[in-house]
Amino acid sequence: MVDGNNQQIQAITAEAARRGTAVTIVIDFIHVLEYLWTAAWSFFDKGDPGVEAWVADQATKILNGRSSDVAAGIRRRATRFGYSTAERKGADDAATYLSNKKPYLDYATALEAGWPIATGIIEGACRHLIKDRFDVTGARWGLDGAHTILTLRALTINGDLEEYWAYHLLKEHHRRHETRYTHHHNDYTLAA
């Protein structure tokens, strides 16, 4: 999941190639919607009730794998209505974005696989899990301490802390007692 930044896409693609693995890159759908709204304001006046329906229609087409059709339709509409270069800039920017990013707009496959198509849930989880605890004034974190706190926060948030703690106590008991004494029981000769 990326926001469409070419450097991000290139870095991910290069790293995947270096590791000899295939990755699926999906652009955050919210970024695509921003471009659709930019195009919409080339075609509609502020307050026009048709703007929302137009954006929703284009978004639905993109979600169904028709981003090329949407890009072509945006350009066609701007040309048909005879917009000047300045008037159609938002439309052209959106159409170019959709054309250039087409390989990363396969939302139908992503949704079928159960993948997120927007980073909001990921960003929200990062804020909730990490930033709310670590981004405090004056705090200093070492890697080990931060890792420990992050693990405990994740366990707590996921509702797994009690199960983890029972497992931890069992393993600690085993480490401290059972492994220390169980293999020595035959070393002693009992005398009466």
Per the CB < 8 A criterion, the answer to whether 101 and 34 are in contact is no
Diameter over CA atoms, the chain: 110
Model confidence at 34, in pLDDT bands (50, 70, 90)? very high
For the chain, give the percent of residues with pLDDT over 70.
93
The three-state (H, E, C) secondary structure of the chain, written as one string: CECCCHHHHHHHHHHHHHHCCCCCCCECHHHHHHHHHHHHHHHCCCCCCHHHHHHHHHHHHHHCCCHHHHHHHHHHHHHHCCCCCCCCHHHHHHHHHHHHCHHHCCHHHHHHHCCCCCCHHHHHHHHHHHHHHHCCCCCCCCHHHHHHHHHHHHHHHHCCHHHHHHHHHHHHHHHHHHHHHHHHCCCCCCCC
Residue 77 above 70 pLDDT? yes
| pLDDT for the residue numbered 192 | 59
Q: Tell me the per-residue pLDDT of 117-137, one tens digit each, with 9 for 90 and over.
A: 998 877 777 788 888 888 888
Report the amino acid identity of residue 161.
L
Q: What is the mean pLDDT of residues 84-103?
A: 97
Model confidence at 44, in pLDDT bands (50, 70, 90)? very high
Q: What is the mean pLDDT of residues 188-192?
A: 60
The model's pTM is: 0.68
What CA–CA distance (Å, rounded) separates 1 from 12?
10
Model confidence at 96, in pLDDT bands (50, 70, 90)? very high
